[in-house]
Amino acid sequence: MTALQTVCLLAVAVAGTATVLTRDPLRQAVASGSLGLALSVLFLVFGAPDVALSQIVVAGVAVPVMVLLALAKIRTVDRAAAREDADER
Amino acid sequence: MLAYLVAVWLLLAGLYGVITSRHLVHLVLCLGVMQASTYVLLLAIGWRDGGAAPIYADIPPNTPVVDPVVQALTLTDVVVEATVVAVLLALTVQAHKRFGTSDPDALGALRG
Amino acid sequence: MSARARLVLGLGSLAGLGALLVWAVGGLPDFGHPRGPYADLAPRIMLDERHVANAVTGITFDLRGFDTLGEELILFVAALGAAVLLRALRTEGTIEAAAAYEERRGPGTADALRALGAVLVGPTLLLGIYVVVHGALTPGGGFQGGVLLAGALLLVYAAGQVAAVERVRPVSLVEVADALGAAAYTLVALAGLVFGVAVMDNVLPYGTTGSLLSGGTVPVLSVAVGVEVTAGVTLILSEFVDQMLLRSRRED
């Protein structure tokens, strides 16, 4: 096991723990992006360029966009519900 | 050995996050951490000391390479799990619209 | 069960599971010395017989092509599921009205972001097509290139061209492309039966290593998967984007 692999594995472990321990979903999306980046570097170091390409594309393009759009939609629903409550009163 | 232990740690951490989650989107991202643990485990099994990446475009045909079979499994897995995360996020948005909350504890009872 | 009791029970079970898992990974072969004979045989077959330079793509679409058929269908069904779930949240006709409203209101994003998005759409499309077609030669293939091509749609949205997004992806076209990709993969897999050999056999001529048409059915299947992944991810992302379009108006 090379030193580079050890460093990358520890970075992935730290990023994964940070993702789990961040409670606010918006901040957690950023931590999840850092986990995706650490994973793609780990895959490169383990001799898997195809998997690294997949991981970069998915964790950089697809997943953060979906998470942010879902969170924005949830916030919109909350705001509309608050507005209706204010209108009723 | 460290690679296997990191995979086990990620699985346990993700599972802890799922158990103690208070927001459905947080739960989905912790599920992503658990998915990452399977990728690390698969690739760690395939690693060969001194092996090159299994692309023969520019290396002589007899060089030892790392195991390409586990890489094939992992790479389709990465893309497919992203679409599963999409379905879960769509469910989250629907649940929030329907019940007004994203807290798994508050969404507990199944109402007819 | 109270939250505290649940937490205690959860932590206890996690500790037990952790102990079992550490015991299990202790029994795996030493790190760096994989024991499987398949790992040595598969690159030999790919390079010598099928003339495929990228052993991983060759295994994905040839030696273990049946697994990839299953994975691709999972993606198809997941895209379908996400689309159905999100479409239930809107009524007919509001998307076009919301897009027209956004167009009149003007884009709210910065000019630099819009210019960057507009400039990068062309190169991203080209890069995605390159990655899909060169799956058998360099790192790449249908899955990676497909998501890249779907990312080009996001760049159009980031460039502020909301109505262009509506015109660029008439939803029925995306759905047809999704179904065509999945069907093309299945038909190529069944083509083995037509040629009198086993299903999923590599029946096209193998070509020379390093040229675009090497590997028999591998580039064909890569393109089929590329079409299907692009269409599936575009469908999912456009459904999410539609939900964002509806946020500027009071919706149902």
Domain segments of chain A: what residues? Answer: 3-88
User: What pLDDT, on a 0 to 100 scale, did the predictor assign at position C51?
Assistant: 82
User: What pLDDT, on a 0 to 100 scale, did the predictor assign at position C6?
Assistant: 86
Of residues C39 and C162, more confidently modeled:
C39
Q: How confident is the model at residue B17 (pLDDT cuts 50, 70, 90)?
A: very high
Task: Enumerate neighbours of A (3 or more CB pairs within 8 A).
Answer: B, C
Output the DSSP codes for C3-52.
HHHHHHHHHHHHHHHHHHHHHHHHTSPPTB----THHHHHHHIIIIIS--
Q: How confident is the model at residue C154 (pLDDT cuts 50, 70, 90)?
A: confident
Q: Does A54 touch chain C (CB under 8 A)?
A: yes
Q: How confident is the model at residue B111 (pLDDT cuts 50, 70, 90)?
A: low
Distance from CA of C18 to the nearest CA of B (A): 7
Is B74 in Cβ contact with A51 (below 8 Å)?
yes
Q: How confident is the model at residue B87 (pLDDT cuts 50, 70, 90)?
A: very high
Residue of C nearest to A61 (CA): C151
ipTM score here?
Answer: 0.89
| Helix (H) or strand (E) segment spanning residue C245 | helix C218-245
Separation of alpha carbons B66 and B62, rounded Å? 12
Its domain, for residue B60, covers 2-99
Q: How confident is the model at residue C250 (pLDDT cuts 50, 70, 90)?
A: very low
Looking only at Cα atoms, what is the longest distance across chain A?
Answer: 66
Is B25 in Cβ contact with A74 (below 8 Å)?
yes
Residues A5-13: what's their mean pLDDT? 94
Q: What is the pLDDT of residues C116-129, one digit of tens each?
A: 888 888 999 999 99
pLDDT surpassing 80 at residue C205: no
- Domain for residue B71, yes or no? yes
A chain contacts of residue C244, beta-carbon cutoff 8 Å:
69, 72-73
Separation of alpha carbons C230 and C82, rounded Å? 15
Residues C73-102: what's their mean pLDDT? 75
CB A73 within 8 A of CB C239: no
Would you mind telling me the total number of residues written for chain B in this entry?
112
Q: Which domain CATH number covers B43?
A: 1.10.287
Q: How many domains does chain B have?
A: 1
- Domain for residue B79, yes or no? yes
C-alpha angle B31-C76-B91 in degrees, rounded to nearest 5: 45
- Domain for residue B109, yes or no? no
pLDDT surpassing 60 at residue C92: no
Query: Ranked by mean pLDDT, which of B94-108, C90-104, C203-217 comes out on top?
Result: B94-108
How far the first Cα of chain A sits from its last, in Å, is 66
User: What pLDDT, on a 0 to 100 scale, did the predictor assign at position C207?
Assistant: 67
Site from B59, B87, B97 to mutate, C interface, most C CB atoms within 10 angstroms: B87
Q: What share of chain A in percent tops pLDDT 90?
A: 69
User: What pLDDT, on a 0 to 100 scale, did the predictor assign at position C166?
Assistant: 62
Q: What is the pLDDT of residues C181-199, one digit of tens each?
A: 888 888 887 877 677 666 6
Is A29 in Cβ contact with B92 (below 8 Å)?
no
pLDDT surpassing 60 at residue A83: yes
C-alpha angle C240-C243-C246 in degrees, rounded to nearest 5: 155
C chain contacts of residue B90, beta-carbon cutoff 8 Å:
81-82, 85-86, 239
pLDDT surpassing 90 at residue A20: yes
Of residues B14 and C106, more confidently modeled:
B14
Q: What is the pTM of this model?
A: 0.88
Eight-state DSSP code of residue C135:
G
How far the first Cα of chain B sits from its last, in Å, is 50
Q: Beta-strand (E) ranges in C1-135?
A: none
Q: Does A17 touch chain C (CB under 8 A)?
A: no
pLDDT surpassing 60 at residue C249: no
- Domain for residue B76, yes or no? yes
